Structures are given as structure tokens and as C-alpha cells.
Chains A and B, each alone.
Chain A
Amino acid sequence: MTQVSAPAFEALAVGDELPAQTFTLTRADLVRYAGASGDFNPIHWNERFARDVGLPGVIAHGMLTMATAVRLVVDWAGDPGAVVEYGVRFTKPVPVDDVEGAQVTVTGKVAVLDDDARTARVDLTASTTGPDGASLTVLGRARAVVRLA
């Protein structure tokens, strides 16, 4: 498998990997996303409320995790408007510690090439670190279809 840096459609092959990235999400990022998106559910900023509803603590908005994962594709494609379709399943929450924040590691791989549409489907994985240090997959079926020149 080759690492791709500039996605000329003809140069791509199924299995090509995008450069992986790790993003840090802090409580401030959650508050910023709440304001930008209008999603003020207290599970994303109120520790006591989050624990009372059975969560390990404050968790990231699923939509923020989704937005974070697609950064890998946007950085690779160089054009956010090239993402013609993007979908995910939310499989596990991302707990965000008040001091440490959370690390979300994103990987991506070219899974399907459509010669007629000149699009590539990139399958993404997103994971964070659980309390025991194990890696937890937080998105399922995360797929972005990108139109390429």
C-alpha cells in the first residue's frame, strides 16, 4: 500500500492510505461546538448532569467527532467542497476529561473508485483511548465520497 499525498484520480488505487492524524478535543472545543451548532445538551458541558444520566462524564457531541474525522479527508483533498457524501454511525461516546481532553485518532483508506463519477470513497476509522488505555472505536461505517479532478 502506498501513502498518497496529492489525490490525482488516476494515481489512486483501492487500499491507498491517507496520512493518519490525531486530534485533541478539549472542554473548550465542546463549548465552542455547542455555540456554533446550537446543540446545548448539558451532557456536553455539565459533568454532574452527564454522570446522572449514566455517562462516564462529559462526552463530545457525536457531530463534533464526525466533523473531526472528516478533516482527514478535507486535508487530503484540499477542498472541503469536494466531499460529496459523508456518513457515520455513532458507536461509542468520546469522554472528554476536564484537564486532559480527549485524543481522537483518525485513519482513512481508499475503498472504492468510481471511474465515471471520478470519485473516491474513503473509509475512515476514529478511535479514542479508554480509561484502561485500550483503543475504543467511536465511529462505525464512516465513509466519505470525494470528487477528484
Chain B
Amino acid sequence: MVNPAVAGRQYPPTPPYEVGREKIREFAEATGPHPAHTDPEAARALGYPDVIAPPTFAVIVAQRCDAQLVLDPEAGIDFSRVVHGEQNFRHHRPIVAGDRLVAVLHVDSVRSAGGHSMVTTRSEIATESGEAVCTATSTIVVRGGE
């Protein structure tokens, strides 16, 4: 079982993740192409300073942030038993190429039900200068032993 004492815990900010145009292109080609992801002129026509990331791109930053908890020996999470239960992104503004993003991990809750543990984490993703960009919330289910 996941250690319930990690609920409420906050981890230090992650090192900056620099959002590259080509990474946005690669992610868009894997998830759904749109000119705003690959053509700076098309992005500017929509009012953005450069190409913007797809709606779920923030998962790259959020999962790096979540790794702090998963790898924390005090949490007691067996990653081989983890199933992704829920995911939510609240975009304060689109992620734009050139952003340098830092994320702070909050463990919002640890619950147990039916022998499983449900852990809800929240990555507050912001620029290095502190501008809020995205709040990514994830619930993982850690299956109990047989």
C-alpha cells in the first residue's frame, strides 16, 4: 500500500524543461497535426508568439514531475502495479515554443479502496519567472497484491 503520510507533501521545483519547436512538432505528429504546432506563421495568425503545444503536451513535464513521488522510497509505490486512472489539464495559457517550464509537485490525496491505492498528484507548471502555465492533475491506481 502507498504510504498515506505522503499526502499533502510538496516537492522542490523541477529543473527547467525547455520547450523546443521540434519537440512540439514530434508530439503533434504523434497525437494530431495542426498548423499551429508546426508553422510559426499559422500560430501567429491565431495570436500566439510562436508555435504552441498540443492540449496534452504538458504530460511530458507533468510525468517528469510525478517521477519524484514514484521514485520516493518513502511513498512505497510499486510502479509495475501502477495504472493511470484520471488525467486533467487546466491551461492558464498555451505552452509556446521557447518556454522554460518548471513544475512543483503536490500530493493532493492518497486513498485506499478495495485493496488498491489511489494517489492524486498535481503539477503546477510555470515559467522560470513564475508565470502560471498549466495545472496538470493525475490520479494513479496502485493495484494491491494478490
Residues on A lying within 8 angstroms of B by beta carbon are 29, 32-33, 35-39, 53, 62-64, 66-68, 70-71, 74, 79-81, 83-90, 141, 144
Contact = CB atoms under 8 A, between A and B. Distances in A.
Interface of B: 26-27, 29-32, 34, 36-37, 46, 48, 52, 54-56, 59-60, 63, 80, 83-91, 94, 137
Contact of A35 (B30, B32, B55): B30
A85 B90 contact: yes
B56 A79 contact: no
Contact of B30 (A29, A62, A66, A88): A29
Contact of B56 (A53, A70, A81, A141): A70
Contact of A63 (B32, B52, B59, B90): B59
A52 to B, nearest CB: 11
A141 B30 CA distance: 24
A36 B46 CA distance: 25
Given A33-B30, A71-B32, A79-B36, A63 B46 contact: no
A74 B34 contact: yes
B122 to A, nearest CB: 12
Contact of A37 (B27, B80, B87, B90): B27
21 contacts: A33-B30, A37-B30, A37-B59, A37-B60, A38-B60, A53-B80, A64-B30, A67-B30, A67-B31, A67-B32, A70-B55, A71-B31, A71-B32, A74-B54, A80-B37, A83-B55, A83-B91, A86-B89, A88-B86, A89-B85, A90-B85
A29 B86 CA distance: 22
B56 A63 contact: yes
Nearest to B23: A36
Given A62-B84, A87-B89, A88-B87, A80 B31 contact: no
Contacts of A62: 84, 87
Contacts of B48: 81
B29 A36 contact: yes
Given A32-B30, A37-B27, A64-B31, A81 B36 contact: yes
Contact of A74 (B32, B59, B60): B32
A54 to B, nearest CB: 10
Nearest to A30: B30
Contacts of A87: 86-89, 137
Contacts of A33: 30-31
